[in-house]
Amino acid sequence: MSTHDLFSPIQLGPLALPNRVFMAPLTRCRASEGNVPNDLNAEYYAQRASAGLIISEATSVSSRGYGYPNTPGIHTEAQVAGWKKITSAVHAKGGHMYLQLWHVGRISHPAYQEDGTQPVAPSAVKPKGQVFTGTAMEEYVTPRALETGEIPGIIEEYIHGAKLAKEAGFDGVEIHNANGYLLDQFLRDGTNQRGDSYGGAVQNRARLTLEVTEAVCDVWGSDRVGIRFSPAGVFNDMHDSNPMETFGHVLNELSRFNLAYAHITQVTAQDIAHGAVAGVGPKELKPFWNGKIVSAGGFTLESGNRALAEGWADAIAFGVPFIANPDLPERFRGNAALNKPDDASFYGGTEQGYTDYPFLN
């Protein structure tokens, strides 16, 4: 048991954070042309600077890594300039912010590729479902399996993104290894059917995750790097034959890096309704990990405090509650009513449903 609650300060590497109410990474599809963050994004994040830590929306490390409209990148100087406005605004309010490094892999479409070619993935396994290409919903395509010789180039993209994130003024970075995107595709056997040193046994499937993590730590120092997993998630047509073995192995291997945290999502009722199985989450995987755990997935004030008290989480990342409540920590502290989120404005649009939610005071 722990005596910590959501309002207890926490030391995260060199960062002394005022509370454990973290802002989860939230794709909002409001970047400008060229996938450049803008002034409206800066206002949005600055409004939420009272979070113990803001984890940015997923941000592509490569021009090949996009799969949604108007999502930000971190591979051009214009994008760095846009992010600098955001980190400066957050820091001016006393906040702290990590950038989430992202590559969507197969969850893309030729419409998002500069040369109109297939998206890349560990294996040529087509995802179920459809993708919005900017004008219409279209079926996902069968991706092209990366050649073994191309994988060092993928790692270089993460290194480049990590370096630019430092240039943009972030306090650290989170590696997106969840939700069915590229690194998650390599890790899970439902999407990785390779026969080389990056496929087959879990030791091989975890190889790219470990290599990317080591490379990003070389840029930032391990105490400013987090990593996100969704071990029971089925989003983006994901599954694994033995998730406890897969995620237990990768967390055990990552423990040697002494990262700032592992961000492990718990299974929600919505996940279970779509085929996920309960019993593989932060609570069950904690024995494999020697560091701090941030968890996310439908938490409330009460369930977040309970997770901290039980000792299997060190901080809680809130998603939808932070969309609708820019002052979420203050509302939690005063046990105040929460604003109701406007689902229709979650993705894309203007300031409506983005920066116009009211504060308590």
Tell me if 2 sits within 8 A of 35, measured CB to CB. no
Name the pairing type of β-strands 144-145 and 120-121: parallel
- Classify burial at 3, counting beta carbons within 10 Å of its beta carbon; exposed 0-12, middle 13-18, buried 19 or more: exposed
- Cβ count within 10 A of residue 175: 27
Terminal Cα distance for the chain, rounded: 35
Beta strands 225-229 and 172-176 are: parallel
Closest of 291, 257, 45, 52 to residue 169, by C-alpha = 45
Q: Give me the sign of the Cα torsion angle 274, 227, 281, 48.
A: negative
In the chain, where do the E strands start and end?
Answer: 10-12, 15-17, 21-23, 54-60, 97-102, 120-121, 130-132, 137-139, 144-145, 172-176, 225-229, 261-265, 293-296, 315-318
Catalytic residue among 44, 45, 140, 181: 181
Tallying the residues shown for the chain, one arrives at: 361
- For the question of residue 68 being annotated catalytic, the response is no
Q: Which residues are catalytic?
A: 181
